[in-house]
Structure 1
C-alpha cells in the first residue's frame, strides 16, 4: 500500500505571545504623603527649639553652668506653674496685655492713615518729612524718662511709650508701600479714567497691604519689648515688673518664668498677625516654586 506525502501542508508556526503589560509602580497614597510632609515640616521647625530646651535642662545638672543663675528648665516650669496657680501670673499678664494692646492698637489706628496720606500727597510729605526724620532716629527707650516725667509713672506713660515705639515701623512701611506701587498699575488705572478716590481704593490700598503688614508685625514685637522696659520703672504689676522684682528678690526661676511668658506672647502675637495678613492678601496668587 503506497503512502502519499502531502507537499502542500504549511509548517507549524507557534502563535506569538502577547506582551504582558508591566505593572505600574505603586504610587503612595496622597493622604500618606501629606502626613509625612507635615511631620517632616514639624520636625524641621521644632528640632532646634527642642535641642535648646534639652541643653537648658542638662547643662545646669551636669555642672556646665551655675544652676544658681540658670536653673534647669524643669524648675522654671514648676515655678511658672506655681505663679499660674496662685494667680500672680494672670495678674501680671493681664496688666501687660492691656498696656501693650492699647498702645499697639492706637499706633495702627494713627500710623496707617497718616502713612497713606504722606505717601499719596506730596505736599503733606514735604511738610512732615523733616519732623519724621528727627523722631524716627530717636530711640523710644531714650525718651522713656521724658514720658515718665511728663505723664507720670501710671498707665498713661506706659501706653504712650508703646504707642510711640509702634508708630514708626508702621508709618515708615506704609509710606514706602504707597510710594513703591507698581507704576504700570497706576498707568493702567489712569488710562481707564478712574477718579482719584477709586484709584486709591482699587489700586493703592490692595498693593500696599503686604508691606503695611510687615510694619505691623514689627510693631507687634516692639509693643512687647518696649513695654517690658517701661514696666521696670515705677510699675506695680506686669511681666516686666515680675522679672525685675524676681531678680531683686533672687527668685531666679520666677524671673525665667516671666521671660518665657513674654517669649510665648511674642510668638503667639506674631502668628496671629501672620494669619491676618494671609486673610487680607488672599487675592494674591501663590508664587510658583
Structure 2
C-alpha cells in the first residue's frame, strides 16, 4: 500500500514497519505462497488425470496417465526425436507469427490513421476475415504446394487478424486531447505519429499480438496434420493413427507447453517495452 497510510489522521506506517521487522519470514515466503497458490489447480488436475485411468474409471486405451505421457516424452528425447518435432513446429509458427505481426501492425496503423484507406479496404478485409484459415487450406496448397510455404501461410492467416484489428482499435482510441496538445505546440505529423499515437496504441497492439500467439499454435496443429513429416501436430496425428496413445498425449502436452512459453515470452516482451504502463492491482 502507499507509504502514507492513515487511520483517522494517524499514520499507520510505523506500525507496519514494526510488523515487518517482527515477522520478516512472511516477506520471504510471499513469492513461494503465490507460486503454490497458482500451482494448486494444476496439481489437482494432474492428480485427477493420473487417478482416472489408474482406477479403471477411464480406460488407459483412451486416456494415458501423466506418468506414461512423461515416460513417452523421455523416450522421444532419448531417440533425438523430441527436439526435431519441436524445432519444426517452432520454425513454422514463428515465421507465420512474425509475418502476421509485421503485416498486421503496419496495415493496422495505416488504416487507423488514414480514414479513407480504412473505408477502401475495410469491406474487403471484413469479407476475408470471415473466411476460416482451415477452409482456405486447400487454396494455399493449390497455389503454394504442400511444402513449408503453405503451412506458414495458414499460420500467417490465422494470426494476422487479431493483430490487425487490435492495432486499428488502438489507434482509433488514442485520446484526441493528446494529439491536439501536440499540434498546438507545433509538432509535426511524423512526431505525433511516432511519439504520441504509436505509444498510446501499443497496449492494444500487444494484446492483439498475444492473441495471435495463441491462434498461431492452433493453426499449427491443422497445418502439420496435412502433408507434414515432422512437427508436434504431425506427431500427434501419426501417433493416433498408429494407436500409440501415450505418444499422442505427449504431442498434445508439448503443444500446450510451447503455447505457454510463447505467451510468456510475448508477455515478458510487453512488460519490457511498456514499462511506463503500470496496471492497477487490488494488492497494491
Fold agreement, TM-score > 0.5: yes
How many pairs were matched up?
A: 266
Superposition RMSD on alpha carbons, in Å?
1.5
Write out per-residue CA displacement over residues 182-205 of structure 1, whole angstroms, 9 at most, x where no aligned residue.
Answer: 122122212212111111111101
More moved, 151-160 vs 29-38: 29-38
Write out aligned runs for 1:48-127 (5 A): 48-127=41-120
2:207 aligned residue:
214
Match of 1:186 among 164, 175, 179: 179
Compared CA separation, residues 138 and 31, structure 1 to 2 (3 A) = farther
C-alpha separation between the residues in 1 aligned to 2:137 and 2:75?
33
Write out per-residue CA displacement over residues 56-84 of structure 1, whole angstroms, 9 at most, x where no aligned residue.
Answer: 11111111111111121101110110001
Larger radius of gyration: 1
Offset at residue 286 of structure 1 (A): 4.3
C-alpha separation between the residues in 2 aligned to 1:119 and 1:28?
50
Contact map agreement 2:154 2:219 (CA 8 A) in 1: yes
Write out aligned runs for 1:166-177 (5 A): 166-177=159-170
Scaled by the length of structure 2, what TM-score is found? Answer: 0.90
1:133 aligned residue:
126
2:12 aligned residue:
none
C-alpha separation between the residues in 1 aligned to 2:261 and 2:281?
28
Q: For structure 1, which runs of at least 5 residues remain unmatched after alignment?
A: 1-23
Q: For structure 2, which runs of at least 5 residues remain unmatched after alignment?
A: 1-14
Write out per-residue CA displacement over residues 169-226 of structure 1, whole angstroms, 9 at most, x where no aligned residue.
Answer: 0011000100111122122212212111111111101101110000000111111110
Contact map agreement 1:209 1:280 (CA 8 A) in 2: no
Structure 1 stretches of at least 4 aligned residues deviating more than 4 Å after TM superposition: none
Contact map agreement 2:112 2:167 (CA 8 A) in 1: yes
Write out aligned runs for 1:1-289 (5 A): 27-29=19-21, 31-287=24-280, 289=282
C-alpha separation between the residues in 2 aligned to 1:247 and 1:156?
26
Scaled by the length of structure 1, what TM-score is found? Answer: 0.88
